[in-house]
Amino acid sequence: MSQYWDSYRKRTLSRRRVLAGSSIAAAGVAGMALAGCGDDDDDDGGSGNNGGQNLTPVIPTQTTEQPVKGGTLRGLATIGSILDPHRTNTPHESVTLWGAVGNTLVRFSTKNQGSVEGDLATGLPEIPADGLTLTFKIRPEAKWQNKAPVNGRAVTAEDVKMSFDRIKDPATVSPRAGNFGAIDSVTVIDAQTVQFKLKTPQADLMAAMSDQYNFIIPKEIASRGPDAIKTAADVIGSGPYELVEFVAAQKSALKRRADGYWRQNTSWLDGAEYIHQTDPQQALNALRANQTDVIGTTADLAKTIENDKNFVITKAPTTTRECLLINHGKDRYKDPRVRLALQRAINRKQVYDTVFGGVGWVGGPMTPAAPVWVLPDAELAKLPGFGKREDEIKEAKALLAAAGLANGFEETVITVTAFDTEKIHDVVVSNLKDIGVTVKTENVGTDFAANFLPREVGRQYDLATTLFLSGGYPDAQLLLYHHSDTKTKGTRNYGDYSLAGLDAKLEKQSTIYDEKTRLALVQEIQRDIINAPGPIWFGSRGVLTVWASRVKNPASFPFAAGYYGSENIWLKA
């Protein structure tokens, strides 16, 4: 089984075009970013994402200058309200703050992209033939910040065990719990050794552990239960920075830990300060006025400064997926014909052309930012919702007529003013009108985590224009959102979707370590979901970040790599 992990370490994304689009949501130390498009320079036979567009991240040439310590990075970001990394769904808190404050057991590599490396773990474990046991060694040098109640003690195997037990505990209501349903037990072997026993092999387990939310927290905090992390004082990590201030929807601040980071020759900033800002134009104005060092922006606004030497634009795809979420508990949507009509109604290209300036990628249940796993373009074009617009509208109306809704119907659709969701919703309203569905919009406000997510989780909606951010691997994109066991496997299946035979396929693909064999099943699953939806997936946006030129060594990646910025960027002296 170790051959699989050797392959996993060496695999990199093979494509060379990047996503571009808009969002201010992820600006910050995390370096989660985006910008414009490059041209294809290879031909892979069309076995990739929609349009043959390639998705390898483009980053600026990294400087040969020597890093210097000092200075405070100033950023603008969309600041949510939930600080708990095991419960939040928003990128500033998880990628930017916890990416600077905490560590994961293993993490995605920014040097060998497509691979996983140790973080708190000394490295990756050997996998036995049955694929059921993973034993990790904890770095002896890893220390918690010197704050009560941990007071700078060493990170231990018990911290790791209690963190994963907490994520898996239904009382925590972690959106990531389903990623770890295959874990049967986590056992402390000794202070620096922790062992995971699996019920079944899980090919994506390392990737799931590396995702942006699965930070290890001290056992003293984990033992407090589901509500353990409410304020900045509760945020204690093993990373290079401490959280000193957090005001929801207003501001946050970090400072370099006083006792020093255990990973030497990294983490150059004195700290970072973020102000809540959701207006891209206002953010760009602040950047031009030297009031901030880093922003997320739109493709159109980026063009106005792309040749300005005072700024650097970094680029990367994103695994954020736009979606029309269906509550399958409602009588109307128990009829698969109605759901399929909605699938056909959405004009995905219009979404990305209108909202993201043409810099988004049409796709199905797997994000186009994961080109290893997506359906080939030619096949996707033959499936419902991805054909010619006039044909899709005709078929959608026929489906509604067959379901006894020839005159259409009226429906309330919830949305939120955050992360451009309200703009996507405007396109959805127009698209549904084309097939006779009249939308009554219920906008819940501007706080995605506090106002919108609880409505989704509580099934308090009929339809919802929304988005989801997940790792670019099959378990995160498929199993988590489509398995009918919403308690342990499909924990983000907020519409209670169920399709005969699908659960077995989802579980099987999760156990297949051979990528080629697994790919065939993963693509079959995507066809199943498109033909009998499910959430209505649109594709994926890109994101871009603009940095002031005084920020040295910025980079962006198509996965959660908050640690990169916190360890590797500095400010010009």
119, with CB counted inside 10 A (0-12, 13-18, 19+), is buried
Map residue 154 onto helix, strand or coil: strand
Considering only the C-alpha atoms of the chain, give the largest distance between any 2 of them, rounded to a whole number of Å: 70
Q: Is the four-CA dihedral 154, 158, 161, 163 of positive or negative sign? A: negative
As a whole number of angstroms, the distance between CA 174 and CA 168 comes to 7
| Low-confidence residues of the chain: pLDDT under 70 | 1-63, 113-114
DSSP state letter for 332: G
What CA–CA distance (Å, rounded) separates 368 from 375? 9
pLDDT in the model for residue 28:
40
Q: Assess contact for 259 and 59: CB atoms under 8 A.
A: no
What beta strand segments (E) does 345-490 contain? 360-362, 409-415, 437-443, 463-469
* pLDDT reported for residue 88: 87
Q: How do residues 436-445 score in pLDDT, each as one tens digit?
A: 999 999 999 9
How many structural domains are present in the chain? 1
Q: What CATH number did the domain enclosing 493 receive?
A: 3.10.105.10
Asked, for residue 441, whether it belongs to a domain, the answer is yes
Per-residue pLDDT tens for 266-320? 999 999 999 999 999 999 999 999 999 999 988 889 989 989 999 999 877 788 8
Q: What is the pLDDT of residue 24?
A: 36
Tally of CB atoms within 10 A around 187:
13
Question: Which SS3 state, helix, strand or coil, does residue 406 take?
Answer: coil
Closest alpha carbon to 5 in 153, 121, 114, 142:
114
**CA distances from residue 32 to 170, 230, 272 in whole angstroms, order as listed:** 30, 25, 16
In a domain, 491, yes or no: yes
Tokens 């997320």: give the residue. 296
Distance from the first to the final alpha carbon of the chain: 49
The single-letter code of the amino acid at 463 is L
- How far apart are the C-alpha atoms of 11 and 372, rounded to whole Å? 10
Burial class of residue 45, CB neighbours in 10 A (0-12, 13-18, 19+): exposed
Q: 197 forms bridges with which residues in the sheet? A: 133, 185
Residue 490 counted as domain residue: yes
Phi-psi region of 32 (alpha: psi -120 to 50; beta: other; left: phi over 0): beta
Neighbours of 233 (CB within 10 A): 12
Whether residue 376 lies inside any domain: the answer is yes
- Residue 389 within any structural domain of the chain: yes
Q: Is residue 344 part of a domain?
A: yes
Picking from 501, 500, 479, 495, the residue whose alpha carbon sits closest to that of residue 342 is 495
Domain extent, residue 513, equals: 319-541
How is 18-82 classified by DSSP, letter by letter? ------STT-STT--------------TT-SSGGG-------PPPP-SPP----EEEEEE---S-
Measured between alpha carbons, how far is 368 from 49 in angstroms, rounded to an integer?
A: 5
Within-domain flag for 366: yes
Q: Is residue 482 within 8 Å of 435, Cβ to Cβ?
A: no
Structure-token pair, residue 360: 């988004």
Residues 475 and 202: beta-carbon distance below 8 Å: yes
pLDDT score recorded for residue 9: 36
- Identify whether 423 is part of a domain: yes
How crowded is residue 401: how many other Cβ atoms within 10 Å of its Cβ? 15
How do 116-118 and 106-108 pair as beta strands?
antiparallel
Q: What is the DSSP letter of 149?
A: T
Best CA proximity match to 506, nearest among 484, 531, 488: 484
- Quote the pLDDT of residue 114: 64
The answer to whether the bond into 385 is cis (omega within 30° of 0) is no
